[in-house]
Amino acid sequence: METALQTYLAENIPITTAMGIKVVIASPARVLLECPLEPNRNHRGTGFGGSIASIATLAGWAWIWVMMRERTVPPNIVISKSSIEYTHPVQASFSAELRPPSDAQIRSFIDSFDRRGSARIELKVDVLCQGEEAALFTGVFVAVKS
């Protein structure tokens, strides 16, 4: 699944290639993306806030993509809103890891998608650098039957 997602990102979201985003783990149980500092650095030599928000957005989006990929009609997945708190400067390569939603959240999301053709879910993503939290992201994503 990692290779499929990596290829999909490169073909469909080209800025992910410029950012050097690497799909490390992509399964319904765990999504972990990583990118190097250099193309994502800012004027202080630390991680640019926009890149940090981007990789977190992708981790949330990717989890829904992975989870719903096997469905007969894969959904369109978009982000509706998000917030991010930058807790520590990023001083090396960094990663974004989804906090898996509860089973109840997942069930309600899938049920709504099946019954109404659309569903929304709030996802949390930790951005980590050298084992420490650098940012906490919360995003509301919407899946619509395509």
Residues that bind a second copy (CB under 8 A): 8, 12-15, 18-19, 38-44, 48-51, 53-55, 57-58, 61, 76, 78-86, 89
CB of 116 to a second copy, least distance (A): 20
Closer of 64 and 128 to a second copy (Cβ): 64
Distance CA 51, CA 81 (A): 17
Closer of 42 and 112 to a second copy (Cβ): 42
CB of 137 to a second copy, least distance (A): 10
Residue 100 per-residue DSSP state: P
Contacts by residues 31-34 (CB-CB < 8 Å, ≥ 24 positions apart):
31/59, 31/62, 31/63, 31/66, 31/97, 31/98, 32/59, 32/95, 32/96, 32/97, 32/98, 33/58, 33/59, 33/62, 33/95, 33/96, 33/97, 34/93, 34/94, 34/95, 34/96
CB of 68 to a second copy, least distance (A): 13
CB of 3 to a second copy, least distance (A): 17
Closer of 12 and 72 to a second copy (Cβ): 12
Quick check: helix, strand or coil at residue 101? coil
Closer of 18 and 111 to a second copy (Cβ): 18
